[in-house]
Structure 1
Amino acid sequence: MPELLRKMHAYWRAANYLSVGQIYLYDNPLLKEPLQLAHIKPRLLGHWGTTPGLNFVYIHLNRIIKRQDLNVIYIAGPGHGGPGLVANTYLEGCYSETYPDISQDEEGMKKLFKQFSFPGGIPSHVAPETPGSIHEGGELGYSLSHAFGAAFDNPDLLVACVVGDGEAETGPLATSWHSNKFLNPVCDGAVLPILHLNGYKIAGPTVLARIPHDELESLFRGYGYTPYFVEGDDPVEMHQLMAATLDKVVTRIHDIQRDARTNGFKQRPSWPMIILRSPKGWTGPKIVDDKPVEGTFRAHQVPIADMQRPGHVALLEQWMKSYHAEELFDKKGRLNAELAELAPLGSRRMGANPHANGGALLHDLRLPDFRHYAVDVPAPGATTAEATRVQGEFIRDIVRLNPHTFRVFSPDETASNRWGDVFEVSNRCSTAEIIDIDDHVAADGRVMEMLSENQCEGWLEGYLLTGRHGFFSCYEAFIHIVDSMFNQHAKWLKAANHIPWRRPIASLNYLLSSHVWRQDHNGASHQDPGFIDHVINKKAEVIRVYLPPDANTLLSVTDHCLRSRNYINVIVAGKQPEMQWLDMTAALQHCAAGIGIWEWASNDKGGEPDVVMACAGDVPTLETLAAVALLRKHFPELKVRVINVVDLMRLQPKSAHPHGLDDRDFDELFTVDKPVIFAYHGYPALIHRLTYRRTNHKNLHVHGYKEEGTTTTPFDMVVLNELDRFHLFADVVDRLPQLAAQATYAKQFVRDRLFAHRNYIEQYGEDMPEIRNWKWVNDSDKG
């Protein structure tokens, strides 16, 4: 064992040397000549402080992987820990196999160093470009939830997750410690959290590094873990302690799994975790410019900066030579054989583990035929249904057919969003205490509910990135909680699309229900459709937004999204009973086109319309059709074209989005000079943004959410935002000169109906019967 630990220490020195070289060196990678300013990058970018700790953990994981033939992936939570993970995957050979031009020799090492945080190179954090990674290091807080997501349904996988003590201060990370209440040792893998305490963030001390030992231990015992401490700064002692601790921890994990898989799940185990306390910038320069560095916040980024300053080049050279690279690499720059043999072989290397390239393990879902769930629609508006309840029947059978590769995630809203049929085939997952009055709760449940949108998102991302499928349902207003997480996943997918060895993964699918127009009972706090705007900011190659107007279109869209790869699909659909417009054949045609004229609601066939009534979203569609009925009644001679939009991206030009319509097709639909009254689910400005380059944009008038809302009736919500049938009707009257002679009486009609509406709801507390009981009929005399 002492000889093995000696070699491990040398391997750690090699990883540290490569890490420093990435931050600093442009040339002279093996320091074969005296270091000069010309050998150093002109711009020094990167983070040293966390890196030696990450390297320390990596080599110790290598030892136990090789010793016990373990299946392990490594998640580095600390931000910008890229030098360490790149260094270690280079040492084990994965990096050169992935990028053959970065060879394991002096020339390859020079390229490895130069590319880091350099134009045309790689980021300073762990990123999609890093072999073995599933976690973007550019933002803190999600490492542990990604780790648990990766472990679900992966019974042979151990996910080692290093949590930085700065990261541990974020809300998502603080909450994610409770993920252990959802991990089932029978069917899931294991997560080994390693809390790395090095004392400082960029400039200040960290919370967990400054609380007493017994308080820290009590905190994690309270979370339900058994903490093991590895603390110190002497490398020899720390290697011995870490090796012994990892042996105990892995043995404990295997004992937990063996017992559960032999005797069945009995109660939630106290999973082990490691608290590693080591100096920040360990093994780096102790003093720079008469100020302490190692063990302080000054080691966080670049410990020796301003290389023009006298003595700094020599200080850097002294630091790098302290690792004695000549003992670690041969004259050609290859790692010495006795050190190279410490790395696991083949796919057991953490940089080559297929679970970190989830598309390589991905299998298509077994999907039932969504047409079998179709709502019977003998005529538009003749049937009423709850769209997401119908979708829930489809999701139920997907869960049943894919018992190990598909889960649904929701912050306590699965039933609320009308996916309750899923509980016919599975339960809510919990390995915590379950009592008799709990409803559909079991340790083997596949419905992942925690009242944290961050955890649902993080779990699902980890699940997808390791080769599985899932769906996230959420109240529309509260999906904003994961705005930043969505950002990171979108950036990951955008980068991964341009990395040939990254295999496509299943798309991240959102259902946003309980949406803005049906939050009349909860009030303004639950009213915000702006997530769509946020999504549209991302690259067109990875985002899709769908607004199906009824159940059959929702089924078609859902099937399409579940078959897609490397996208983020956002579906917005209501859960309340609504009129259904399209039978399944029509729904398929409409969804395939993404946008189209509803001929049955239009009367302009064979000529130009006087006005185009466009809509996107279920409630806007209802109000548009009601407005069209009013137009038919009051102005039967008027030629009206009704356009419904399912795929919001169809509004953009083809040059801006792959789904975009070319200008000719757009002009044929919307005309080049007629008024377009557009009823839209969200904020009106987005439609203008998507269409501002179109020929007829000047005649586009959008009604949508205007940040008006309260606790009121459903129809009053649309009235408050002027999305209702009466305001749409009035807008047409205002836009058409040929109606000028009749405008006075038409506008009086609108004022009277809106006054009657206000008077009625304030007296009775519900919408007028003419609103509640309105039905679409094709006979204009009955409109």
Structure 2
Amino acid sequence: MSSDTQKVSPEELEKIDAYWRAANYLSVGQIYLRDNPLLRDPLKLEHVKQVLLGHWGTTPGQNFIYAHLNRIINQYDLDMIYISGPGHGGPALVGNTYLEGTYSEIYPEITLDAEGLKRLFKQFSFPGGIPSHVSPECPGSMHEGGELGYSLSHAFGAAFDNPDLMVACIIGDGEAETGPLATAWHSNKFLHPAKDGVVLPILHLNGYKIANPTIFARIGKEEMDNLMKGYGWKPFWVDGEDPAYMHQRMATVLDEVIAEIKTIKEAAVNNEQFGRPTWPMIILKSPKGWTGPKEVDGLKVEGSFRAHQVPLSDPAHNPEHLAQLEKWLQSYKPEELFDEKGKLLAEWQELAPKGDRRMGANPHTNGGALMRDLRMPDFRTYALDINMRSMPGPGDTKVLGGFIRDIIKLNMHNFRVFGPDETLSNRLNKVFEATGRQWIADTFEEDEFLKKEGRVLEVLSEHQCEGWLEGYVLTGRHGLFNCYEAFIHIIDSMFNQHAKWLKMTSEISWRKKLPSLNILLASHVWRQDHNGFTHQDPGFIDHVVNKKASVVRVYLPPDANCLLSTMDHCLKSRHYVNVVIAGKHTSPQWLNMNEAITHCTKGIGIWPWASNDEGIEPDVVMACAGDVPTLETLAAVSILRNKLPDLKIRVINIVDLMRLQPASEHPHGLSDIDFDVLFTKNKPVIFAFHGYPWLIHRLTYRRTNHHNIHVRGYKEEGTITTPFDMTVLNQMDRFSLVQDVLNRLPQLGERTAYIKEDMKNKHIEHKNYIRKHGIDMEEVRNWKWELS
């Protein structure tokens, strides 16, 4: 960047204004026109779309910003991307990427002439065309403007470990009312000014949402100033509606902002003892629907909520609307902007940056094009040496921590761990042997692991952790989000949007596959006995499996070696959301590493060492998915095999939950033949499941033997209690599972009576014991897999 700031010449301002008018013209054309794109003929009704969809209100302000950013990209040779936060800003981004030439390079049929303009206009919000927001189809987009609140989080995620990147993040004043966005302002306490890139927030105050004024536009300039300063930003105002004044003011402010950013970055590079910088941000206050119709049907439009969507809504039945539309389009003077063929005049085209410096062509917005594979240590070297079934382990995630630590060591600029103050709580302690928590705010002597440069980012906001990780992987890097299982629901909707982005980009040929978004859920439902009912909810799995099968994966490794194998696979995978659920407490270990690799590769399988039906048909199938369900299933099997040694039991463990679906529904699904071989066609199946029981029924309802599948899982029963009592409350404990088996084998006759009585007595003994001692019975706490 050059440090020189100078007043922009009148010629340059004229160029910016023409480019802005051209972008506004293209935006209105996209909303309204399907023919006569340059108004070479008088506008007629047949030139107008019959169904008018789109959002005008935010668009002219975004076009204004885009044109001015083009100027500073050229002047300072900036590597800049544009994130459009204000909802449906699609016309602006599509129009600007068309003007700079990127759109036609990706979509050659949208040519830079009148015919190309006609196609560009017609496809917008039209069947078989493109959506009205900033969608994956639009070049230069890495943030979809559907749901509001995540733009600034994504911007910071993109900036981490991208020291030369500048992210211009346009934030709508409606979007600024959301909780995630309100918290995202604090991301400036985590951005390393030398090692990371720059985020330039541009808060666009245009006054209104769909039907209401925005809070930020009604609190007064001084209060707004103080709010941003309180967040740790230095606000620069661009406030007005006269284009001439606004162009000059915006150009001046951008030059000042670039000078401040350069000063901050140089100071950090030259002084490792730098303090937390006060980064600049811009508050742009302009009328909603700027340059559009002032009034329609006698009602104010420009500068009001009525400009939000389609200001002239009924030209088909209102000739005055058609006349106003023609006058509106002509106000941009298209004859001064486009040549005879319909191409933007060369003198205005000069404003567009060249090559990858164009924001629509910046490779960071197509992150798969920049992605480098992780350097991975051999996960086998972290294996627990299993010398006996049910050998106690230190906690599955604690073992995983060593693996993640060494991934960090090998990928110090390409991999991060994100979490809402739970990395230690989730027992990933070993990562801090390699790194610290990145933190640019004040530190005290008693603080632990806080460093200006670190690979762990923690803030007590699941929204920020998810948003940062999304921005990070969308720009081609890799990461892991660890969270308590119950509170991952906070990002349900964010997960939705990312899964939809993955689904759509997988269908677009020029989009490159991204690193997977990996979510590790620990502190799960069955081991939240100390925190109680509020912390007990496994329902995120149900939410995840609603998404397109091509992009979602759910894994339930039963022990540490399986977790290592699973996580190695997830971190190497591409273009998925991987959800892995694992325990953090001391727990039994079942498989040595070779067995774990085989089992996880299959995703589902019989455990022959726990079964006794080889070569014959089983009397009952005992299935389990999850670490605690696996423990309780095997404990129940040991009871049954000791008391009924001639009973033939098959034990099936599921790591990859999607294996239960038919192959026609999910790429990982089992064929009906293979499912029937495992689960039989007519034998009872007792299934102990980590989550809500009905999810298993939903995944298997088409299967031959579905009517014989009996599922035990979480039934919304919980409190502060003992670990084993959580399973008892939800009837997923070993004693209940034994009774479930006996109840479904009438051929055993009277042989079951005393066993059932014994199981009922055990429940009573358990309740009495925990209420007296506060811990589980010794036979539960110290249970080991063994057969008498």
Partners of 2:44 and 2:690 in 1: how far apart? Answer: 62
Give the partner amino acid of 1:196. Answer: H
Higher mean C-alpha deviation, range 28-37 or range 448-457: 28-37
1:599 aligned counterpart, secondary structure:
coil
**Does the alignment pair 1:317 with 2:315?**
no
Contact 2:267-2:274 at 8 Å conserved across structures:
no
Aligned mate of 1:699, from 708, 723, 726: 708
One-letter code aligned to 1:652: Q
Given residue 39 of structure 1, which amino acid in structure 2 is its aligned partner?
H
Which position in structure 2 is the counterpart of 1:542?
Answer: 551
Aligned match for 2:48, one of 21, 24, 40: 40
Question: What 5-or-longer segments of structure 2 have no aligned partner?
Answer: 1-8
| Aligned-residue offset at 1:334 | 0.4
Cα offset, 1:32, TM superposition: 1.2
Per the TM alignment, residue 557 of structure 1 is displaced from its structure 2 partner at its CA by 0.3
Residue type of the alignment partner of 1:570: V
Q: Does the 8 Å contact 2:416/2:456 carry over to 1?
A: yes
Q: 1:672 aligns with which of 681, 688, 692?
A: 681
| 3-state secondary structure, aligned to 1:545 | strand
The secondary structure found in structure 1 opposite 2:217 is helix
Matches within 5 A, 1:569-584: 569-584=578-593
User: Which of 118, 121, 128 lines up with 1:120 in the alignment?
Assistant: 128
* TM-superposed deviation, 1:558: 0.3
The answer for the alignment partner of 1:520 in structure 2 is: 529
- Determine the C-alpha separation between the residues in 2 that align with 1:315 and 1:747: 83
The counterpart of 1:612, out of the listed 617, 621, 627, is: 621
Deviation at 1:635, TM superposition (A): 1.0
Select the residue among 407, 419, 441 that pairs with 1:410. 419
Deviations 1:289-346 (A, max 9, x none): 0001000000000001022123111111111111111110112110001011110000
Q: Shift of residue 26 of structure 1? A: 1.2
Q: What is the CA deviation profile of residues 219-248 of structure 1, one whole-angstrom value per residue up to 9, with x for unaligned ones?
A: 111100110000000000000000000000
What displacement does 1:466 show? 0.7
Deviation, 1:266, is 1.5
Q: What SS class does the counterpart of residue 553 from structure 2 fall into?
A: strand
How big is each residue's C-alpha offset from its partner over 1:254-274, in whole Å with a ceiling of 9 and x where there is no partner?
Answer: 110011111224110000000
Q: Is 1:585 matched up with 2:594?
A: yes
Partner Cα separation in structure 1 for residue 24 and residue 41 of structure 2 = 20
- The match for 1:444 is 453
1:435, distance to aligned residue in structure 2 (A):
1.1
1:65 is aligned to 73
Letter paired with 1:15: A
Alignment of 1:408-487 (within 5 A): 408-487=417-496
Q: Which residue of 1 aligns with 2:342?
A: 333
Shift in Å at residue 709 of structure 1?
Answer: 0.2
Paired amino acid for 1:725: R
Contact 1:143/1:173 (8 A) holds in 2: yes
Aligned position for 1:349: 358
**Alpha-carbon distance in structure 1 between the residues aligned to 2:327 and 2:640:** 84
Instruction: String of CA shifts for 1:444-478, please: whole Å, max 9, x gaps.
Output: 01110000000000000001011100000000000
* Residue equivalent to 2:141: 133
Consecutive aligned runs of 4 or more in structure 1 exceeding 2 Å deviation: 382-385
Contact conserved, 1:733 with 1:740, CA < 8 A, in 2?
no
Write the distance in 1 (CA, Å) between the matches of 2:405 and 2:749.
54
Aligned equivalent of 1:762: 771
Of 168, 173, 179, 2:176 maps to 168
- Would you say 1:183 and 2:183 are equivalent positions? no
2:503 counterpart residue number? 494
Equivalent in 302, 305, 312 of residue 313 of structure 2? 305
Give SS of 1:590's match: helix
Which amino acid in structure 2 is aligned with residue 447 of structure 1? V
Which amino acid counterpart does residue 167 of structure 2 have in structure 1? V
Give, in whole Å, the separation in 1 of the partners of 2:756 and 2:573: 48
Partner of 1:202: 210
Corresponding residue for 1:371?
A: 380
Shift of 1:528: 0.2
Q: Letter of the aligned partner of 2:45 in structure 1?
A: L
Deviation at 1:212, TM superposition (A): 1.5
- Give the aligned residue type for 2:312: I
For residues 419-448 of structure 1, give each alpha carbon's deviation from its aligned partner in whole angstroms, at most 9, with x where no partner exists.
111111111111000111100101101110
Cα distance in 2 between the residues matched to 1:391 and 1:136 = 33
Structure 1 match to 2:110: 102
Partner of 2:3: none
SS of match in other structure, 1:426: coil
**Which residue does the alignment assign to 2:781?**
772
Q: Secondary structure at the match of 2:394?
A: strand
Structure 1 residue 529, shift from structure 2 partner: 0.2
Secondary structure at 1:408 match in 2: strand
3-state DSSP of counterpart to 1:357: helix
Q: Is the 8 A contact 2:389 2:784 kept in 1?
A: no
Cα distance between partner residues in 2 of 1:309 and 1:392: 67
CA distance in 2, matches of 1:435, 1:99: 55
Work out whether residues 506 and 566 of structure 1, in 8 Å CA contact, stay in contact via their aligned partners in 2. yes
Aligned residues: 779
Structure 1 counterpart of 2:447, which letter? D
Task: Give runs of aligned pairs for residues 17-96 of structure 1, distance below 5 A.
Answer: 17-96=25-104
**Cα contact 1:377–1:383 (8 A) shared by 2:** no
State the match for 1:688 in structure 2: 697
TM-score normalized with structure 1 length = 0.99
CA distance in 2 between partners of 1:775 and 1:716 (Å): 18
Q: Which letter maps to 1:260?
A: A
| 2:363 alignment partner AA | P
Mapped contact 2:392–2:586 kept (Cα < 8 A): no
User: Does the alignment pair 1:287 with 2:295?
Assistant: yes
Q: CA RMSD in A?
A: 0.7
What secondary structure, in the 3-state scheme, does the structure 2 residue paired with 1:470 have? strand
Contact 1:362 1:467 in 2 (8 A): yes
Contact 1:376 1:383 in 2 (8 A): no
- 1:459 maps to a residue whose letter is W
* Matched residue, 1:743: 752
Task: Indicate conservation of the 8 Å contact 1:181/1:430, yes or no.
Answer: yes
Look up the SS of the partner of 2:67 in the other structure: helix
- Aligned pair partner of 2:222 in 188, 199, 214: 214
The secondary structure found in structure 1 opposite 2:697 is helix
Q: Does 1:509 align with 2:510?
A: no
Aligned residue for 1:672, secondary structure, equals coil
Partner residue of 1:709 out of 705, 713, 718: 718
Q: CA deviation at 1:384?
A: 2.5
d(CA) in 1 for partners of 2:273, 2:361:
32
Correspondence 1:387 to 2:396? yes
Is this contact kept in 2: 1:679–1:704, CA < 8 A? Answer: yes
Q: Aligned partners of 1:7, 1:596: CA distance in 2, in Å?
A: 67
CA displacement 1:681-736 (0-9 Å, x = unmatched): 00000000000000000000000000000000000000000000011000000000
CA distance in structure 1 between the aligned counterparts of 2:536 and 2:107, rounded to whole angstroms: 48
Q: Work out the CA distance in 2 between the residues paired with 1:379 and 1:22.
A: 68
Question: Counterpart of 1:774 in structure 2: which amino acid?
Answer: W
Task: Return the alpha-carbon distance in structure 2 between the equivalents of residues 645 and 602 of structure 1.
Answer: 15
Q: Deviations over 1:4-44 (max 9, x none)?
A: 10111011000000000001111111111111111111111
**3-state secondary structure, aligned to 2:80:** strand
8 Å contact kept, 2:161–2:413: yes
Q: Alignment identity in percent?
A: 68
Q: CA contact under 8 A between 1:671 and 1:696: conserved in structure 2?
A: yes
Counterpart of 1:45 in structure 2: which amino acid?
L
Residue 633 of structure 1 and its aligned partner are, at CA, apart by: 1.6
How many Å separate the matches in 1 of 2:580 and 2:401? Answer: 14
Whole-Å Cα distance in 1 between the matches of residues 284 and 392 of structure 2? 62
Q: CA deviation at 1:493?
A: 0.2
What code does the residue aligned with 2:659 have?
Answer: R
CA distance in 2, matches of 1:764, 1:716: 13
Aligned to 1:399: 408
SS at match of 1:209: coil
